[in-house]
């Protein structure tokens, strides 16, 4: 959420942001119109209340008149307030100045590549073929039990998954992040607060109690200090969560139906940071978080490219975003495995997370989040890059102590 005064003072900038993020530009004019009516209605209500409060005990007739007028105007104000709040939640965060403008993924810019693309003296298989051949993966039985995009992982692939997640979590603890186990079901306020609602509501699963299943532990971690006042000494706050994640994958019909790259349920290690209200400080952390994810891929010996995402391929709340795409030799393509974003105070305003600086002034914290490791997506990359001619898969060196073996399969 943005400050309404900022929106009033920067109408053209906000309209440009809405356009560049492929959203409905009419929402801006509607918001400002409702805002003007809301303020006029508030003044009317305040004036009537002040008049009523000034009346003496003998002015009963006048008091009754004012009371009746308030009965007419207060419901109007409440309706305008409700509409105002709803519209405010639909205004996106303007992209940072250096974000490329584009309608979709074709506007993203490759800013870095690392590592040599793996070469083989045989035709490399896709991850799901390797996994099936070694009896590490069963989609047919899973689909019968749980529907499309369901899967079983089996045997060594389960152990590799646990090795990867454990390695990622240990790495984050070593970097000073607090490891946290998080709620998987959260109240709507947490999803609205982190900006996943209203835009991504259809892609979330809902419980009969009105809660939502998280699509990432970012939701729970970012909302952790909801409604709290922190101090400058608390910052930066560095949190790391490992949790199941659930996504309906709306709009991906027919996309990535083979294997376990795009699924409804997965596990992810995620990092979230609160910083002071300073964009320069936040951008430094944004790049630092990118470096952490890069280091993980380098530790695993996986080549990758870093993309600076364009305006049309970012979330509504994101100010700036990097994606990392890891090389998948079995598919002869780079595939997205990590996403690194910062928001300034967009999320913290919605969640009311503030801090007091050294002078006693109050500010909303700035928030960031980034993928550390997502499974089974990253598992797929490991399988394709470490496959051997006989159909077995070498275990990356850094994961061998966790696995207790150096080769999986045949």
List pLDDT tens digits, range 222-236: 999 999 999 999 999
Give yes or no: 348 in active site: no
Give yes or no: 30 in active site: no
User: What is the structure's pLDDT at 64?
Assistant: 82
Both tokens of 62, joined, read 């006048």
The one catalytic residue in 248, 262, 279, 392 is: 262
The per-type count for the chain, helices as H runs and strands as E runs, is: 13, 17
Percent of the chain with pLDDT over 90: 90
**Mean pLDDT for the stretch of residues 23-47:** 95
Mean pLDDT, the chain, integer: 95
Give the confidence band of 188 by pLDDT, cuts at 50, 70, 90.
very high
**Mean pLDDT for the stretch of residues 165-177:** 98
Instruction: Using the structure block, give the residue that is written with the tokens 């996309």.
Output: 255
Is 232 buried (19+), middle (13-18) or exposed (0-12) by CB count in 10 A?
middle
The one catalytic residue in 243, 311, 339, 341 is: 339
CB count in 10 Å sphere of residue 235: 18
At the topology level, CATH places domain 4-88 in Helix Hairpins (1.10.287)
| pTM of the predicted protein model | 0.93
Distance CA 332, CA 328 (A): 6
Give yes or no: 61 in active site: no
DSSP H helical ranges for 253-312: 279-299
The one catalytic residue in 65, 74, 276, 336 is: 336
Give yes or no: 283 in active site: no
Domain ranges of the chain: 4-88, 105-408
Contact 392, 130 (CB under 8 A): no
The yes-or-no answer to whether 4-88 and 105-408 have a common fold is no
The one catalytic residue in 129, 349, 377, 384 is: 377
Give yes or no: 247 in active site: yes
Q: Which CATH architecture has domain 105-408?
A: 2-Layer Sandwich (3.30)
């Amino acid at each position: 959420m943005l400050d309404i005064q900022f929106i009033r003072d920067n109408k053209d900038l906000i309209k440009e942001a809405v356009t560049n993020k492929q959203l409905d530009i009419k929402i801006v004019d509607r918001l400002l119109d409702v805002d003007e009516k809301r303020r006029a209605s508030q003044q009317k209500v305040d004036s009537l209340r002040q008049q009523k409060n000034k009346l003496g005990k003998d002015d009963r007739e006048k008091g009754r008149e004012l009371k009746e007028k308030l009965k007419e105007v207060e419901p109007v104000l409440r309706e305008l307030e409700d509409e105002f709040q709803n519209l405010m939640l639909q205004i996106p965060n303007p992209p940072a100045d250096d974000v490329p403008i584009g309608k979709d993924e074709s506007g993203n810019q490759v800013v870095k590549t690392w590592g040599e693309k793996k070469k083989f003296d045989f035709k490399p298989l896709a991850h799901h073929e390797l996994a099936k051949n070694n009896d590490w993966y069963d989609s047919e039985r899973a689909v019968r039990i749980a529907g499309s995009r369901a899967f079983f992982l089996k045997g060594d692939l389960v152990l590799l998954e646990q090795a990867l997640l454990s390695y990622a979590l240990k790495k984050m603890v070593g970097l000073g992040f607090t490891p946290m186990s998080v709620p998987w079901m959260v109240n709507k306020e947490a999803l609205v607060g982190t900006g996943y609602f209203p835009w991504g509501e259809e892609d979330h699963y809902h419980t009969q109690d009105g809660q939502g299943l998280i699509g990432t532990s970012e939701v729970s971690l970012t909302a952790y200090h909801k409604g709290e006042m922190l101090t400058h000494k608390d910052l930066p706050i560095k949190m790391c969560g490992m949790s199941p994640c659930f996504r309906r994958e709306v709009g991906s019909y027919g996309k990535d139906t083979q294997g376990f790259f795009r699924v409804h349920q997965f596990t992810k290690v995620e990092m979230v940071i609160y910083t002071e209200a300073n964009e320069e400080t936040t951008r430094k952390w944004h790049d630092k978080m990118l470096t952490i994810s890069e280091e993980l891929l380098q530790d695993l010996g996986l080549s990758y490219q870093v993309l600076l995402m364009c305006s049309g391929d970012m979330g509504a709340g994101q100010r700036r975003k990097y994606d990392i795409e890891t090389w998948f030799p079995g598919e002869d393509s780079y595939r997205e495995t990590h996403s690194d974003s910062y928001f300034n105070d967009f999320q913290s305003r919605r969640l009311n997370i503030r801090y007091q600086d050294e002078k006693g002034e109050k500010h909303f914290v700035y928030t960031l989040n980034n993928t550390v490791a997502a499974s089974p997506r990253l598992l797929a990359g490991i399988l394709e890059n470490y496959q051997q001619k006989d159909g077995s898969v070498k275990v990356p060196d850094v994961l061998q102590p966790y696995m207790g073996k150096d080769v999986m399969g045949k």
